[in-house]
Each structure stands twice: as C-alpha cells, then as structure tokens.
Amino acid sequence: MSSDPAWTKRSLVAQALGKVDPQTRAVVPPIHVATTYIRDPDNSYSSGYIYGRPDNATVRDAEAVIAMLEDASGGALLFGSGMAAAIALFLSLAPGDHVVASRVMYWALRNWLAGEGARFGLAIDFVETDNLDQLRKAVVPGRTKLVWVETPSNPLWTITDIASAAEIAHAAGARLAVDSTAASPIHTRPLALGADIVMHAATKVLNGHSDVVAGALVAARADPFWEKITAVRRTHGAILGPFEAFLLLRGMRTLPLRAAAQSRSALALAERLSAHPHVARVLYPGLPQHPHHNVAARQMEGGFGYMLSIQVIGGETAAIGTAARVRLWKRATSLGGVESLIEHRASIEGTGSPCPPDLLRLSTGIEDPEDLYWDLDEALRAAHSG
C-alpha cells in the first residue's frame, strides 16, 4: 500500500488529524473526563497519563491540531484562557528579567504587565513595536529576555514586522513571543518568520463560536523555557477543561473556511467604509493606505484577518450612537466568532489606553457582507442625523 500523500492543513484540520476512537471506530473522539489514570503493575505509567491537572487526552488532541497549524516543533499547550496562557509565559521568566512589549496590545494584558509584572520582578518597557527603530533602542543586549509583540494589534491593528523583530530580539539574546490572535494560524505563521513562541486567545477565531474561553501557546522548540512554562501550567492547574477542549477541537475543524470568509468580508467592509461620508478613518492592514500594508502583505497569507476599526465623524457621541443603532451586528466585547460584533472600545479600556474615543471595533463574522454593510451604513447615518 502506498503511503499517504502530504495532506494539506485544510484537510488535516477538517478531520482533527483523523483520529478515530480505537474501541468504537467513532470518527469523533470521546471527551476524556478522568482525573486519574491506572498505574502499571511495574509501577510505571506507560500510557503517558498520570493525573488530570497536567494530563488530559482531549486537551492533547486539540493541542496536536494547533501545533500542526502553526508548524510548532516544540508542541502546543492549552490553558483556561488567553490571559492564563500569556501570564504563564511571563511567570516563566526570572525576577529581574527585562521585557519589551507592544504598547498597542490587548488592554487587560497590558494592564497586568504594567501593574502586576513588577510584583514578579519583571522590568517592562512598552514601545511602538511597529516602529523597528523604537524596538531596537528599547532592547538591551544581555538584559532583555523577552520581546512580546501583538500583530495585528488590538484595537488599532498596527502591524509589527515579525521577521525583523525576531532578528532584533535574537541579536540581544532575547526570545520573541507573538500574540497572533487577530491573524490566526491561517493568515500568519510567526514561527516560520523567526518567532520562538506564539500565543492565541483561542476564545476567538480558533474556536470561532463564542462558546469557549481558552488560550494556547505554541513553541518553535521544546527547550528549558518551554519546560518551565509546562511546569507553570502543571503547578497552577491552568490547563483547559476537557469539555472546552472538545468544543475547541470541533470549532477548529472549520477554521480555514471561517477565517477565509471572515477576512474577505472584513476587506470588503474596510474598502466600502473608507468611502463612507460619516467615517473619518478605517484601520485595517489590508488597505493600501495602512502605514504598514507592505509588511502585512509580506507576512500575512491569504488575507488580512477578521478585525478592523473605524473612527466615526462626530467623535465619541456619534460612535456610541452608531453602536446603539445596529441590528445585525451584536453590541458586545470579544472577537473572532461567526457572529459580527461591534464595540466602543474606549469605554472598556479606560484611561491609559491608546484607543481614541471615536473608535468602533468591528469583528467580522460569516454573515452576508452586504447585510453587514447595510446595517452599519443605516446606523452611521441615523447616529449622524439624530
């Protein structure tokens, strides 16, 4: 019998790597809920499973799919949220370590780093990582241990050049970690561009159905730092639950289709909204006028992602008024689901946020893009006249 050809990622993810339950031949693997596993008579654990806090087969099934999508030779780890994943990485650094991070990033993580990071002995500098000169100046050879970039960055969708950031980090003896939530493994593969670790809020497009809170880390190699992160997850009990892992595994089967459709709609919306009489500015890396469109075009494949923001003429009042009037878009926080979401971001991020008050963040779902445009257009016009 000839061996399997090299199936594409789309084929592999559709079948969740083709795992079949050996007992029943079911095409959907069961959800493993056991918290403990039988030890062998010779006192070993030949199954590779000891206890539920570090070991769960359903979690490992979902991790294998994510590692495959990211070409992660070091493997993947799933956590109870995106924040838990990111914080496990920061807790794996040593007191005194210097971190350089994107100033424009998911606000709750920036707040945690600015407020709590110091309590764990980390020295953190926030810079515009889309400006490589700023990044170069902030990194201190020998002292900086981690460069953390989010690209595209929430909620302004600035783009950091991952390959250049990796070069800068590595030249200083630091690792590069990338929050790639808004790109998804479909549109960007940071490890292939030189990053050491990738983080996903799997709550978002990886799962895609707004019914699981989860986080993932993937590693270019299983080195001692990765072992430290694995130990932090094990001791803190930060692993994802088996039912959530099952839902995530189910959601990821359609990731390539969803990500492509959402990204196509986001681009169509960005283009049309750029010409809208009540929109001052559209922030989307797929637009040629985006300041780092060329970098995005180089490092993103098959689209520019599902997230965009608009700045509304008429300021905060008009922006909130627009969000108040939509009917198809859902007025809610979060991103990446099949349903489109709209949010006045400054209201949630509070003071210290780089988010302007006239900004509405749009997470594009899989609805008909004509309907999405029509609904926004009506809301923008109504907010402007009333």
Q: Is 106 a catalytic residue?
A: yes
User: Is residue 117 within the footprint of ligand PLP (CB under 6 A)?
Assistant: no
State the minimum distance, in angstroms, from the CB of residue 307 to ligand PLP.
9
User: Which residue carries 């070409």 as its tokens?
Assistant: 71
82 binds ligand PLP per the rule CB under 6 A: yes
341 scored as a contact of ligand PLP (CB under 6 A): no
Q: Tokens for 377, please give them.
A: 């257009």
Task: Check if the beta carbon of residue 218 is closer than 8 Å to that of residue 191.
Answer: yes
241 binds ligand PLP (CB under 6 A): no
Among the listed ranges 88-96, 175-183, 269-277, 344-352, the one in contact with ligand PLP (CB under 6 A) is 175-183
Distance CA 275, CA 266 (A): 15
Q: Is 179 in the site for ligand PLP (CB under 6 A)?
A: yes
- Establish whether 19 is a catalytic residue: no
Please name the residue ranges forming H helices in 96-219: 107-115, 132-138, 162-171, 184-187
Residue 107 interacts with ligand PLP (CB under 6 A): yes or no: no
At closest approach, how far in Å is the CB of 80 from ligand PLP?
A: 8
Classify strands 144-150 and 175-179 as parallel, antiparallel or unpaired: parallel
Which amino acid is present at 97?
A: D
Are 360 and 380 a contacting pair, CB within 8 Å?
no
Work out the burial of residue 78: count CB atoms within 10 Å of its CB; fewer than 13 is exposed, 13-18 middle, 19 or more buried: buried
Catalytic residue list contains 179:
yes
Please tell me whether residue 154 binds ligand PLP under the rule CB under 6 A. Answer: yes
Q: Are 266 and 286 in contact (CB under 8 A)?
A: yes
Q: E-strand spans in 166-275?
A: 175-179, 197-201, 215-219
Question: According to the binding rule CB under 6 A, does residue 322 interact with ligand PLP?
Answer: no
Structure-token match 């206890």, residue found: 51
Of residues 225 and 306, the one with the C-beta less far from ligand PLP: 306
Q: Which of residues 256-315 bind ligand PLP (CB under 6 A)?
A: none
Q: Find out whether 253 and 101 touch, Cβ atoms under 8 Å.
A: no
Residue at token pair 């495959």: 68
Nearer to ligand PLP (CB atom), residue 213 or residue 372: 213
CB of 89 to ligand PLP, least distance (A): 12
- Binding of ligand PLP by 215 (CB under 6 A): yes
Closest Cα to residue 168, out of 201, 135, 127, 119? 135
The single residue among 129, 203, 207, 230 that binds ligand PLP, judged by CB under 6 A, is: 203
Q: Which among 30, 69, 363 is positioned nearest to 205, based on CA atoms? A: 363
For the beta carbon of residue 14, count every other beta carbon within 10 angstroms: 17
Helix axes 224-236, 82-91, angle to 10 degrees: 120
Provide the minimum distance between the beta carbon of 214 and ligand PLP in the complex, in angstroms, as a whole number: 6
Task: Collect all residues with Cβ–Cβ distance below 8 Å to 2 and sequence separation of at least 6.
Answer: none
Stretch touching ligand PLP by CB under 6 A, among 29-37, 76-84, 236-244, 245-253: 76-84
Catalytic residue, chosen from 106, 130, 189, 258, is 106
Nearer to ligand PLP, 32 or 110 (CB): 110
Nearer to ligand PLP, 100 or 383 (CB): 100
Does 208 bind ligand PLP (CB under 6 A)? Our answer is no
Is there binding between residue 83 and ligand PLP (CB under 6 A)?
A: yes
User: Among 106, 148, 225, 246, which residue sits at the site for ligand PLP (rule: CB under 6 A)?
Assistant: 106
Q: Does 321 bind ligand PLP (CB under 6 A)?
A: no
Half-sphere exposure of 257 (CA within 13 A, CB side): 9
Q: How far is the CB of 104 from ligand PLP (least distance, A)?
A: 10
Inter-residue contact 272 to 283 (CB < 8 Å): no
The window from 49-57, 78-86, 158-166, 291-299 that contacts ligand PLP (CB under 6 A) reads 78-86
| Residue 22: CB minimum distance to ligand PLP, A | 33
Q: Give me the residues paired with residue 51 across strands.
A: 36
Q: Is 306 a residue of the active site?
A: no
Which residues bind to ligand PLP, rule: CB under 6 A? 81-83, 106, 109, 150, 154, 179, 181-182, 201, 203, 213, 215, 334-335
Kindly list the catalytic residues: 53, 106, 179, 204
